[in-house]
Chains A and B, each alone.
Chain A
Amino acid sequence: MFPFRRFLVEDESMRPTLEPGDYVLVNRWAYRFHSPKRGDLVVVQDPEMPERFLVKRVSDAAGPTQVRLAGDNRIASRDSRAFGPVPIERVVGKVWIRLKR
């Protein structure tokens, strides 16, 4: 598996960190040897729609097998406040580079 995958950002819940139209390069190997840490920017499978991806920030490394996620733009984010903690296996990888629009 090639470690890097790019994603196009849509919607506004990660403002001001990410704007709609930005790209993120995600390192899919980032969590092979250690778990996500609080503050990491990650791409995950949407817990409510598995065919879709979300980009969020880890707000709490809730345990070795799950993380809690939050949007940087708290008022405009559907995140762990709505869908609860997310299992680690749903985490695609860590955002390595942001390409600003």
Chain B
Amino acid sequence: MSLLYSLARLLDRISPAPIAYAHCDIPCGIYDPHHAQLAAHTVVRMVDLINQLEKPGPSATAEQRQEYTNKLARYITTKEQHSEIAKSEIRILWADYFKPDHLKTYPELHDTVWKALKTASKARQEINLQAAEELLKATNDIASMFWKTKGLETITTKAPYPTERQTVYPKFK
């Protein structure tokens, strides 16, 4: 420790030096809208599965009812969880990644995020294919803005999952 450093320390006792931040929000900078898109796909898939599930008729056995209830409960649980994952991922991008500069280029960002969160809640509360698909579309819109802020073009193509819905992917050079 140098003499000048000790002197600065001493001066701090009289009048503390202001802090100059060499700042970052944790050295991370690692963001990707794919998590949100993936969660939205899962929500769509769960609604599809729930709708395809054969409902037990009046003559169904106790075992058949049990099996139906078990599957339904599993699909609903997963739909609940992944709607919430989608919301959480969207919030992270919104609060931590997007900056005021981005907002100048995408003034619709706040509105898109707000609607996406509302739609995610609706998809969570109901068995509603339209809400699930709107959630996926909202995550695609956010992904499209995100990748453009990274200077990357995007392509919209059919996802390689059973949902097969249109999905936005970055075009890496």
Contacts and interface: CB of A to CB of B under 8 A. Distances in A.
Contact of B8 (A11, A15, A18, A99): A99
B60 to A, nearest CB: 59
Interface residues of A, number: 37
B173 interface: no
Contacts of A11: 21-24
Given A73-B27, A99-B5, A10 B20 contact: yes
A52 to B, nearest CB: 6
Contacts, number: 91
Given A6-B8, A12-B27, A56 B17 contact: no
Looking at chain B's contact residues, the main secondary structure is: loop
A76 B27 contact: yes
B17 A23 contact: yes
Contacts of A15: 22
A100 to B, nearest CB: 7
A78 B20 CA distance: 13
B28 to A, nearest CB: 8
Contacts of B108: none
A53 B20 contact: yes
A23 B100 CA distance: 31
A56 B20 CA distance: 9
Counting chain B residues whose Cβ lies within 8 A of the other chain, the interface size class is 20 to 34
Given A8-B17, A73-B27, A75-B27, A13 B100 contact: no
Task: Identify which of B23, B29, B100 gathers the most chain A CB atoms within 10 Å of its CB.
Answer: B23
Contacts of B27: 12-13, 73, 75-76
Given A8-B12, A99-B8, A53 B22 contact: no
Contacts of B21: 10-11, 46, 52-55
Interface of B: 1-2, 4-5, 8, 11-12, 16-25, 27, 29, 99-101
Interface of A: 5-15, 18, 20, 23-24, 26, 43, 46, 48, 52-56, 71, 73, 75-78, 82-84, 97, 99-101
21 contacts: A8-B16, A9-B20, A10-B20, A10-B23, A11-B21, A12-B22, A15-B22, A23-B8, A23-B17, A24-B20, A52-B19, A54-B23, A55-B21, A56-B22, A75-B27, A77-B22, A78-B23, A78-B24, A78-B25, A84-B101, A99-B5
What are the 4 tightest A-B residue pairs by CB atom distance, in nearest-first order? A76-B27, A7-B20, A55-B20, A14-B22
